[in-house]
Amino acid sequence: MADLALPQTLTLSEDFASALGEPVATLDEVVQQALNSAAHRERWKYTKADRFLAQTSASAKPPQISNENQIGVSWQRQPIAQPMSGLDLQQAPEAFARLCFAGEAMRLDITAPVTEPITLVHSENTLPVMIYVSANASLSLIEIIEGHEEMQQSVWIDIGPNAQVLHSRNALNDTPASWQYLNVRLQDAARYRLNNHALGCGIRRQDLHIIMDGQGAEAKLVSAGMVDNKAALDQQITMEHRQPKGHSEQTIHNIVANGGKCTFNGRIHIHEGASGTDAQLSNKNLGMGDNATINTKPELEIYTDDVSCSHGATVGTLSKEALFYLTSRGIDQTAAQALLSQGFLRQCIDGPLAATALEAMIGPQNTSDEH
Amino acid sequence: MNLLDVSNLHASVATDAGPQPILKGLNLTVKPGEVHAIMGPNGSGKSTLANVLSGRPGYAVDDGEAVLDGRNLLDLEPFERAQIGMFLAFQYPVEIPGVSNMEFLKASIDSLARARGEEQPNTANFMRQVRELAGSLDLDPAFLKRGVNEGFSGGEKKRNEIMQLLLLNPKLALLDETDSGLDIDALKTVADGVNRYRSQSNGVVLITHYQRLLDYIVPDYVHVLSNGQIIESGDKGLALELEAKGYAWLT
């Protein structure tokens, strides 16, 4: 396998470079090594990294934001002067490269409980977004990925003690390649919930790195994906429990149909000392039609006793029992299959973007009548 | 005309060791307005009869025929059997998360109406009817928003089957051990539902292990199924005799 490389030399601001703790002179080499490490190769095993790496240096614009004029909200463009919390060059060298190439980020500060949801719309390659949520603050964040060009988004969220973020994201656009990198750090008793809805496209890559970096933090991830008509979706999730008494719960349902390809890697890493952790992950995949490809791999790394951890991945087809039950009530085979597959996804479609997601993933929602 | 005519039915179930013959020449005739109870020891073929008549995958008909209201059942897909008036109340109703009971019932009633060239019911009226039916069977109407049978107790699942029976109003109701796992109050509720369904134009085939259900749903005929054949038929007195003596004196 050829070596992976960035499209051009990294340039860093002095502040950023000095705060990084890596020798700047050899930073390109460090990134190059990280890109070619065994762990990184594994993360990009089923999706070619080259195309995404090439795009990391593309020009980027701020996402469109709405409802930013509220008390407790500030939104500004600023140079990237220091590494953000949760930055791990080894874990995500390509996300680090995006930060360096962009040189600037959009910074959103939330300093109070915010009543109206804040919406970010990404309709092209967008600048990295850094969101800092102060202690005791709360935010409902809506993210919509749209447009038909190749695009990348990276979002870093740092949630302060006892603060809360409800995050809803729809990535339902059709584009040759789309990458969403999301990094969330939770401090003491912080709470985070993500409702993610994704359609496959040429190739959609979603990286999610959640760091439980405070005692008693709670994270819940619910995701529904539909990968049809030779589209592709690659989801890589790392849930890191670094502190005691964290609770994480992940439920990911994906349907893969008609030549679609879906890759899921769900890693739970429980560090030494993170006792009393409760971490649950369930990934269910439904293969339908001809030639669906599903790769799913749950990974557990546990370095402490006294944890409760469950971890499951299934690949299957529609339940014959359920199909028979529905058809025995007069519902024909095709309609019964549609009901079951919709039900499978609907279990993971929720939050303020649920209606749009249902419409895009399942079809028109008309609970009244179907003439 | 007979409502249901089963003649010389031979059927086998697919197993890892190949097809296993279960029904070995079964005959049964149900006329409109009749209730037939089918009893018999474990393994005699009671559930297989229900499964074969309703078209559950995994069974093969080797010989014989089954005619419902003039149509040969065994050529039809399960949904077509339902559309011509067959209903199976499941021994183990299936849980379907993500599909609400209401959505399921509406899909069912609409499919049946379409197949019969009838108008699909108005949604508001339909929902009212379903709520009333649920209430009459001691089912909390809130369950209609939940997934089909999801998190239901055994008794709730069985009452949900009877609610569907009353809603869909089929020509023939096959009840596969609907009484199993019910306490006495739930048993009465279920029996009351079946009695409300009974009419001069439909028929009931009641598969049960226990005579107790027949105190509440009084059958016109009781049949004993053994080794894939009906070996004895009688009136409800036969069920009492079986309760007292067991099956050994017959088999």
- Chain A: give the shortest CA distance to residue B111, in Å: 6
Interface of A with B (CB under 8 A): 319-322, 324-333, 335-336, 339-340, 342-347, 367-371
Q: Do B168 and A329 touch (CB under 8 A)?
A: yes
Q: Name chain A contacts of B111, Cβ cutoff 8 Å.
A: 329-332, 335
**Residue bearing the bigger pLDDT, A363 or B23:** B23
Q: Do A326 and B107 touch (CB under 8 A)?
A: yes
**From B79, B87, B90, residue closest to A327, measured CB to CB:** B79
Q: Rounded to whole angstroms, how far apart are CA atoms B20 and A142?
A: 58
State the best of A320, A329, A347 to mutate against chain B, taking most chain B CBs within 10 Å. A329
State the best of A253, A318, A331, A362 to mutate against chain B, taking most chain B CBs within 10 Å. A331
- Three-state DSSP state, B156: helix
Distances in whole angstroms, Cα of residue B200 to Cα of each of B2, B100, B141: 12, 33, 30
Q: Do A335 and B107 touch (CB under 8 A)?
A: yes
Provide the mean pLDDT of chain B: 94
Torsion of CA A341, A344, A348, A350, to 10 degrees: 60
Pairing relationship of beta strands B203-207 and B172-176 according to DSSP bridges: parallel
Residue of B nearest to A365 (CA): B103
Name residue A166's beta-bridge partners. Answer: A140, A193
Q: Is the pLDDT of residue B190 over 50?
A: yes
User: What pLDDT score does A369 carry?
Assistant: 38
User: What pLDDT score does B246 carry?
Assistant: 86
Question: What is the length of chain B?
Answer: 251
Q: Do A339 and B112 touch (CB under 8 A)?
A: no
User: What pLDDT score does A9 carry?
Assistant: 87
User: Which ipTM value was assigned to this complex?
Assistant: 0.96
Q: Do A325 and B96 touch (CB under 8 A)?
A: yes
- How much is the average pLDDT of B74-87? 96
Question: What is the length of chain A?
Answer: 371
Percent of chain B with pLDDT over 90: 86
**Residue bearing the bigger pLDDT, A22 or B25:** B25
Q: What are the tokens at A60?
A: 């980027």
Q: Do B98 and A319 touch (CB under 8 A)?
A: no
Q: Rounded to whole angstroms, how far apart are CA atoms B129 and A199?
A: 38
Q: Name chain A contacts of B85, Cβ cutoff 8 Å.
A: none
Chain-centre distance for alpha carbon A354: 17
**From B94, B112, B123, residue closest to A368, measured CB to CB:** B123
**From A330, A344, A345, residue closest to B111, measured CB to CB:** A330
User: What pLDDT score does A366 carry?
Assistant: 53
Q: What are the tokens at A19?
A: 């705060």
- How much is the average pLDDT of B34-62? 95
State the best of B54, B79, B161, B165 to mutate against chain A, taking most chain A CBs within 10 Å. B79
Q: B160: number of CA atoms within 13 Å, CB side?
A: 30
Q: Do B77 and A347 touch (CB under 8 A)?
A: no
Q: Rounded to whole angstroms, how far apart are CA atoms B135 and B141?
A: 7
Q: Which of A95, A99, A159 is nearest to A133 (CA)?
A: A159
**pLDDT tens digit sequence for B195-219:** 999 999 999 999 998 888 999 999 9
User: What pLDDT score does A371 carry?
Assistant: 31
Q: Do B111 and A331 touch (CB under 8 A)?
A: yes
Q: Name chain B contacts of A327, Cβ cutoff 8 Å.
A: 77-79, 82
State the best of B111, B120, B128, B165 to mutate against chain A, taking most chain A CBs within 10 Å. B111
Residue B194 in contact with residue B175, Cβ under 8 Å?
A: yes
Q: Name chain B contacts of A321, Cβ cutoff 8 Å.
A: 94
- Chain A: give the shortest CA distance to residue B119, in Å: 10
The 3-class secondary structure across chain A, one letter per residue, is: CCCCCCCCCCCCCHHHHHHHCCCHHHHHHHHHHHHCCHHHHHHCCCCCCHHHHHHCCCCCECCEEECCCCCCEEEEEEECCCCCCCCCCCCCHHHHHHHHHHCEEEEEEECCECCCCEEEEECCCECCEEEEECCCCEEEEEEEECCCCCEEEEEEEEECCCCEEEEEEEECCCCCCEEEEEEEEECCCCEEEEEEEEECECCEEEEEEEEECCCCCEEEEEEEEEECCCCEEEEEEEEEECCCCCEEEEEEEEEEECCCEEEEEEEEEECCCCCCCEEEEEEEEEEECCCCEEEEEEEEEECCCCCEEEEEEEEECCCHHHHHHHHCCCCCHHHHHHHHHHHHHHCCCCCCCHHHHHHHHHCCCCCCCCC
Domains of chain B, first to last: 4-97+171-245 (3.40.50.300)
Residue A89 in contact with residue A114, Cβ under 8 Å?
A: no
Phi–psi pair at B30, nearest 5 degrees: -120, 125
- How much is the average pLDDT of B191-198? 96
**pLDDT tens digit sequence for A263-281:** 999 999 999 999 999 999 9
- How much is the average pLDDT of B104-129? 93
Q: Is the pLDDT of residue B240 over 60?
A: yes
Residue of A nearest to B93 (CA): A325
Where chain A has pLDDT below 70, the residues are 1-2, 365-371
Residue of A nearest to B119 (CA): A371
CA triple A193-A197-A203, angle to 5 deg: 125
**pLDDT tens digit sequence for B133-170:** 999 999 998 889 999 999 999 999 999 999 999 999 99
User: What pLDDT score does A257 carry?
Assistant: 94
Phi–psi pair at A164, nearest 5 degrees: -140, 135
